[in-house]
Amino acid sequence: MGAALSQNSYPPIILSFIISVPSVILYLLEVCIMLICYRNFRSAFFRLFIARSICNFLFYFCASLPARFGRIGLFREFFESLPPVLLGFTMFFGHYTFHADNLSTVFILINRITLILFPISHTKIWKYFLPASLLIIFLAPLPFTAPLLSYDYFVRMQNDNWTFTFDFHRDPEKQYLKSVYISGVSGFLFCGICGVLNFLTIFIYRRTTKTVYAHHNRSQDNVESRLTLYAFITFAAQFVMSLLMIILYISSTSAVPFLYNTVFLAVANQFVWIGDLCNIVFPAWSLLWASSKVREATAKFLRISRFRFCVGKISVEQQPIILLHTQGRSRTQTVSSTQCCT
């Protein structure tokens, strides 16, 4: 298993770096902008976006990057020098962030439904519901993933004596957490729950469109509609991840050699770049499309826009020339004003 997973998989690794690095930079930039200009992004939707981005970053830097380094044999001596508990974080965050990402996607969809159902009291509802949502997102996966940190991990060299994977010593007399099984069940539940939520969102939106227009102006409604489409896009991405987890569980536990030797290894070898697409690329770029506030703030940060950025940068604007009359003589003066961006 280890050698098949590590060797002959350079194209997916290279592809994952190509598509993930620019998207990670954009993703980090969006989150930093939301934290710096928090007054402009204080709605529950953006707080949930930040919560999910934390899960995505933990997956990318703590689970995905070490795994792909092992596929190409980079930093082997460094990983061998780490204590087992630190090696265990790669497997822990791989499963923990999957569950947390599922939960954050569910709450984002619930956020969209409540906006359609209760456009006036939506903000007040989420003022009390948001803290509970964040606690559930970050704490609920711990009972199902924390035992992974107690195993005796080590770096397993593959048959080529160059690539490596992370594994742990198994004691036949002990029972270990069936993490793949739990992730498969989590993915199955996620698909069912979010499928129902998406159906309800579309159904309720069609029936209450006039009510929404009555309480919001057309521009605001277009913004919220795009954010709802963003929720659908990221759900579709997480749906793909859930399907992959279900396939990995079924093929890894099957007694049929074809399923393991073909299906499991094929899915596992493509898991890295598909995970980058679902966890990094789609959330980052789809939000840039969906939110005009994010686009404007990003453009200002990159100095593309002619307007000023919102972090208190001082600028000088030239005002029109004023004609002054002094003691029968006239002269012109250009007046400058110094203002602070808000």
Structural domain including 178 reads: 2-301
Look up the CATH number of the domain holding residue 81. 1.20.1070.10
Q: How far apart are CA 262 and CA 250, in angstroms?
A: 13
Q: Binning pLDDT at 50, 70 and 90, where does residue 333 land?
A: very low
In a domain, 331, yes or no: no
Residue 338 has pLDDT above 80, yes or no: no
> Taking the alpha carbons of 263, 265, 266, 270 in that order, is the dihedral positive or negative?
positive
Q: pLDDT tens digit string along 147-183? A: 888 888 989 887 777 888 888 887 777 777 778 788 8
**Virtual torsion, Cα 76, 77, 78, 83, nearest 10 deg:** 100
Domains: count for the chain = 1
Q: pLDDT tens digit string along 5-53? A: 544 566 777 777 888 899 999 999 999 999 988 888 989 999 999 999 9
Predicted TM-score of the model (pTM) = 0.79
Residue 110 has pLDDT above 50, yes or no: yes
